[in-house]
Amino acid sequence: MVSYKLLTPEDVYFSGGSGSVEEPLEEPVEEKPANSPLLEKKTVCSASTSFIALGAFLLVVCVVWVIGTVFWLRSPSGQFPHRPPSPASGSASASTVVSAPSREGLACSGVPENWRFDCYPEKVVVTRELCEARNCCFIQVSSGKKPIKDGVPWCFYPPNFPTYWLDALNDTDLGFTAQLKKSEKTYYPKDVETIQLDVLYETDSRLRVKITDPSYPRFEVPISVPNATQKASSPLYTVEFSKKPFGLIVKRTSTGTVIINTTVAPVFYADQFLQLSTSLPTRYVYGLGEHRSTFLHDIEWNTLTMWARDVAPMEKTNLYGVHPFYLGMEQGGSAHGVFLLNSNAMDVVLQPAPAITWRTIGGILDIYIFLGPDPSSVIQQYLQVVGSPAMPPYWALGYHLCRWGYNSSDNTWEMVRTMRKYGIPQDVQWNDIDYMDRSMDFTMDPQNFATLPEMVKDLHSHGQKYVMILDPGISSTQQPGTYWPYDDGLKRGIFINDSSGQTLIGKVWPGLTAFPDFSSQETHRWWYDNLQRFHDKVQFDGLWIDMNEPSNFLDGSLKGCPSNDLENPPYTPGVLGGSLRAKTLCASALQKTSVHYNMHSLYGLLEAKASSSALKMILGKRPFVISRSTFPSQGLYSGHWLGDNRSQWTDLYTSISGMLTFNILGIPLIGADICGFGGTTTEEMCVRWTQLGAFYPFTRNHNSINEKAQDPSAFSPSARTAMQEALLLRYSLFPLLYTLFHHAHLEGHTVARPLLFEFPNDEKTYSIDRQFLWGRSLLVTPVLDPGVSYVVGYFPKALWYDFFTGNSLRSQGETVKLQAPLDKINVHLREGAVIPTQRPNTTLWVSSGQPLHLICSLTDEGTAAGDLFWDDGETIDTYETDQYAYIVFHVAKNVMTSQVLHDNVEATFITVETVSFYGVKEEPSNVTVNSQDVPFTYKGNQVLTVTDLGLNLSQNFTISWA
């Protein structure tokens, strides 16, 4: 890569595990007037002197090369600082490393296209005059054409663009601190001339870098993060510093891989413009939600804007949530992660160097770097910072059914009865806003939904649950004394105010509305009070919080927004609508914690936190909340669905990447609207989507008003049966899914898992998002295209078994064509697993009491292992309070053992009825259970099955064969 300054021995500080620092040599600094608003204009790449300059340049290069060669030959290699990798061509390997040319000798034309960092990111057509006013290089990439939104920038930073230099690096208890100074102001107003750098060695695998303004407090995201008290003793990373210009280089100690290198472009730190660029060691980047895209991000000049927005999912658009975290896969299978803890509007730019630019318009630069070294460890380390997901109630993992437009409680109730009639599994019935009186929260339509309380009681009597929608907008137009939520909210001062201190009024479904300020604890109490009052009428079991970006049908407010720097910042990221207030609140609106400019993308998180807390108090059980808008740490309080998708095959496919992305973002309770929300589905699409949706961690069929019904009962008998079988398959796998959620809660694991997590050394898995795993062993290969009776799947090197038959498939890393008639989804087991399944029924309340069937997929050596977490399914913190059972299973040398590591009364209600062993190479002569001979079956596909066992789950047992 091209650095805008080549690092020299005098300019670099090395710091390793020992924490030693080499004192740098002092360098003279040319002073500039402190109040100079812009850089002096300089001539850039003058064409009139090009021939003379070229000759002089070649002469200088030759002299420098000769001197450098002599120096290199006479110097020990260990004294050389890090040199950034050179820009690789499009076909070159990302691991290619070459020395970069010096900063002083590099002309604008010498900066390769892939390494040009945009000096004019504003959404305008950049001219030479505009560019050179910023003292940047201008090269028109395609003659006669306008610069495209995402392409090689025409205006980019020259090698000598002024930035901060590092002054006085000092040791601290946790790492290092330093001041970064600059003498020349840049082109954004309120440039901060002295900023503070803190480098914190928080753990051996986690490095934190904070860049703050020491003279002025700035907004910091108010979520709880760990506070390290002791410096890491054996870090997996090495940190180096460039003095002038300032640069931070973070390497993986074991391989020397450069994880972070900020010397590639200048650092900006102005009041409303913060920018940091760094090289990437890889082209394989994941995360950075919420955007609709493939699971593997495109790095060909791809700008991902983050600012919570109500919009149907589409590519190249900021969507409902904000998650500035990425996972990167390195050559050799190692992985790392980077998290910018910042809630302000931002652009994240990926370019093919490869490199990334973080560009945000507020807050601070608070960066966490996670060293893994495997991808699962990276996610665990990330969740140690933002928090591991909560354990959901058991029924949350069942099948949910909803639509906007049931229009009455009787119609809703009839839907439930129809599902029961056909024996189709269903745990939860939902209602959209049509249950409300004039779309107002905490009300129900007194005519059309008069029987809603009775319907909910009927659900409960059948072991089913009820979830209702709530939007944050509270109707503000009712007569005083007629609508308690608004009257009480005004009295308690819980609404967001406009910049003049008056209640901000927007417009949503009920008309003109006020918006609760969930950054206030008083609002949390008001929310609880309203939920409790409504629960006294309708005994709901969970909450669906929608429109919480927050969404507004107006831009800003009924009165508009003032004209100031918050509403019209010097730089506006590429948000849909072109302004921060587009279809949301004024950026200058006042909240208790800060202005909405800082708090906007936190709204859904804070509402989820209030909702989770209220449900715990009202129900005394684990809360169930599904939120549309999300932010890091959301998994502590809610799950998420992928928003207002459409009944299209593309949406079916992209739901997998959305599901996988939110699993690595720490929100495993995730799914898409099965069969699509908008538009009209087809029978084939809905069958295929139900088969895939049966393997979403959160499974809900939901569609829009005025669309054709798409619940399973709405289709032909054959389609209905295919959907029923898919859902029964899900219910049979409940013990596995529940155990995976336990590991997500306890250890920060993913539930739905990309193949690359289990096969990080197989680069072919890095771009796979048409298949996925549950845990480490269950491979799902759904049909995602119309009119086909087969599907093509990739099987990494391993021994695989057909889940249903036990037929084996040995792969060396091959693509396989699988038969997939309309009534089948392909599921395979990886060797070495013990999978607990259960006889399914139409609700999880009934299913969870049924006997277990254990499936053991043996390796060639005859080994396998698995586990089971079991509790009552709804008590809060059962693991933390020892109210659970935990059993591990092992198979080796023709012996299976079950060992109860933690016992609980819940396990005494469950029996193990059947055990199947896939891959038993020879037919046994006898099988014993706890030393007693038992009957068995053995099939030619090497499947051994033992039935009618009646073994109590709470007692250890042994099964052996010979």
First to last CA, the chain: 62
Q: How far is CA 554 from CA 338, 507, 577, 579, in A?
A: 36, 6, 12, 13
Provide the 10 A C-beta neighbour count for residue 642. Answer: 27
Phi, psi of 445 (to 5 degrees): -60, 115
Q: Do 431 and 406 contact (CB within 8 A), yes or no?
A: yes
What b/e readout covers 322-351, taking b as 16+ CB neighbours within 10 angstroms?
Answer: bbbbbbbbbeebbbbbbbbbbbbbbbbbbb
Peptide bond before residue 354 is cis, with ω within 30 degrees of 0:
yes
- Residue 66 burial (10 A CB sphere; 0-12, 13-18, 19+): exposed
Q: How far is CA 862 from CA 478, 809, 893, 897, 915, in A?
A: 71, 16, 6, 13, 15
Residue 262: which residues within 8 A CB-CB, separation 6 or more?
A: 246, 247, 248, 249, 276, 277, 278
CA 729 vs. chain centroid, Å, equals: 27
DSSP string, 317-359: S--S--EEEEEEEPTTS-EEEEEE---S-EEEEEETTTEEEEE
Residue 234: which residues within 8 A CB-CB, separation 6 or more?
A: 17, 204
d(CA 892, CA 882): 30
| Residues β-bridged to residue 166 | 180
Residue 718: which residues within 8 A CB-CB, separation 6 or more?
A: 822, 823
Q: Do 635 and 389 contact (CB within 8 A), yes or no?
A: yes
| Residues β-bridged to residue 669 | none
Q: What are the residue numbers of the active site?
A: 546, 549
| Residues β-bridged to residue 470 | 545
Task: Return the structure tokens found at 291.
Answer: 């955007």
Q: Do 332 and 255 contact (CB within 8 A), yes or no?
A: yes
| Calculated CA dihedral for residues 866, 870, 874, 876, nearest 10 degrees | -90
